[in-house]
Amino acid sequence: MKKITRAAGFVIYKEENGKPFYLLLRAYRNWDFPKGTIQSGESDFEAALRETEEETTLNCFEFPFNLESKETEVYSKGKISKFFIAKLKEGEPVLRPSPELGRAEHHEWRWVNFEEALKLLPIHLIPILQWANARICSRKTPKEEA
């Protein structure tokens, strides 16, 4: 039986004109959400926070769906990734060099709408995007009282 590698990350979004835009990261030709391998003794959510900050420097989020999450099917020789939905409160990504690699893990980042994300993401992440988009778009945002 193959060993499963577990990872965790965030589907990060921000709203512009009432529509969600998703943060995608590119390494070579592959687009992805921020994520990484879960370390020993770390919860899935803690791993998602750590990896996102390592990969993007972002760490200021709201979690409108609490710790609700969705996992991918097994992909790429035994990987499973769990994703949480995070709404960005402030900041923009910065791709810093990884101490292990001596360079940034990703080559580019981009905010994209749902339709563009569908075209860029690999097939195993499409159900994750669809789940997050459905949750975000069905959410009724209460009007803030002055």
The answer as to whether 128 is a domain residue is yes
The answer as to whether 55 is a domain residue is yes
The answer as to whether 43 is a domain residue is yes
The answer as to whether 146 is a domain residue is no
Domain that residue 116 falls in: 5-138
The number of folded domains in the chain is: 1
pLDDT at 102 over 70: yes
DSSP secondary structure string for all residues of 40-96: TT--HHHHHHHHHHHHH----EE-TTTT-EEEPPPBTTTEEEEEEEEEE-S-----P
pLDDT tier at 146 (50, 70, 90 boundaries)?
very low
Domain harbouring 65, CATH code: 3.90.79.10
Nearest residue to 106 (alpha-carbon basis) of 51, 26, 47: 26
pLDDT at 101 over 90: no
pLDDT tier at 131 (50, 70, 90 boundaries)?
very high
The answer as to whether 45 is a domain residue is yes
The answer as to whether 144 is a domain residue is no
pLDDT at 97 over 90: no
